[in-house]
Structure 1
Amino acid sequence: MSYIHGIHLEVERLEDLVFMELKAVGTLTHADYEKITPLIEEALEGIENPIVNVYLDGTEFEGWDLHAAWDDIKLGLRFGRKFNKIAIYGNQHWQEIMSKVGSWFVSGEVRYFEDSLEAISWLREE
């Protein structure tokens, strides 16, 4: 089990269009979600109907502790209707399964990719 963990977030915003790039590393904790949630709130602040596309790099992601798993569900329930597309770039079969489960919590499309360029080009499609 890795002791290095966290979520890195970069946001690009152009009017109602928001692009978020996240990288999850190690086993995420409640503290990781306490840091990331306000950043997501800030990125969406003042946009009535945002169109949010997300690129999640999960190649170094190992999972969640129990509290963080609950935080992840709450995040999906809170912001899920705002997400247009979520591309999950990963390298483990369980991540593909989680992308299908994650699609239950968002109104947009969630897809799993093993190629980062395919993921980004899918996000950029009109």
Structure 2
Amino acid sequence: MNNDRHGISVGVERIDHEYVLMFKAKGHLTHQDYLALTPKLESALKTVGSENIKMVADIKELNGWDIRAAWDDLKLGIKLRTNLGRVAIYGDKGWQELASKVGSLFIAGEVKQFTEYDDAIDWVTAAT
């Protein structure tokens, strides 16, 4: 049996003395995945605050998006662009690094890609 697992999860993790928005995407994302994400993201943002948000985006298991989901992702980035302080992208595929660079054009804060999860956590929580 072939299970086509895909989706987005979002949560908040307390690391040392600060809250970090934790975002994980897997599989081939759809518009429905982004519709399901919206209320979860709004709830998480209430916890972390709305300025200088630190976020870890785990896209190691992400395979891509359908066209409408790609549009949803772009709109989400634009909506949050002035609120994001540091975004650590965790993934090890070449296209993910390129996607991170393109995404950084729409975000006011710092964006950096990592192939090691612990390095992503260390960087996003480092004093700025």
Residue aligning to 2:11: 10
Q: TM-score, normalised by structure 2?
A: 0.86
Residue aligning to 1:63: 64
Name the CA shift for 1:61/1:121 in 2 (closer, same or farther; >3 Å): same
Question: Helix, strand or coil for the counterpart of 1:106?
Answer: coil
Deviation at 1:27, TM superposition (A): 0.5
Q: Is the 8 A contact 1:88 1:112 kept in 2?
A: yes
Q: TM-score, normalised by structure 1?
A: 0.88
Measure, in 2, the Cα distance between the counterparts of 1:18 and 1:106.
19
Structure 1 residue runs without a partner (length 5+): none
Number of residue equivalences: 124
Q: Is the 8 A contact 2:88 2:112 kept in 1?
A: yes
Question: Helix, strand or coil for the counterpart of 2:120?
Answer: helix
Q: Is the 8 A contact 2:11 2:23 kept in 1?
A: yes
Percent of aligned positions that are identical: 43
Letter in 2 for 1:8: S
Residue aligning to 1:27: 28
Letter in 1 for 2:35: E
Letter in 2 for 1:92: K
Deviation at 1:12, TM superposition (A): 3.8
Letter in 1 for 2:82: R
Letter in 1 for 2:115: E
Residue aligning to 1:125: 126
Deviation at 1:43, TM superposition (A): 2.5
Q: Is the 8 A contact 1:18 1:50 kept in 2?
A: no
Measure, in 2, the Cα distance between the counterparts of 1:36 and 1:103.
21
What is the 5 A alignment of 1:1-126? Answer: 3-12=4-13, 18-45=19-46, 49-126=50-127
- What CA deviation, in whole Å up to 9, does each residue of 1:21-69 have, x standing for no partner? 1111100110110011222222234987522111111111001100000
Q: Is the 8 A contact 1:44 1:50 kept in 2?
A: no
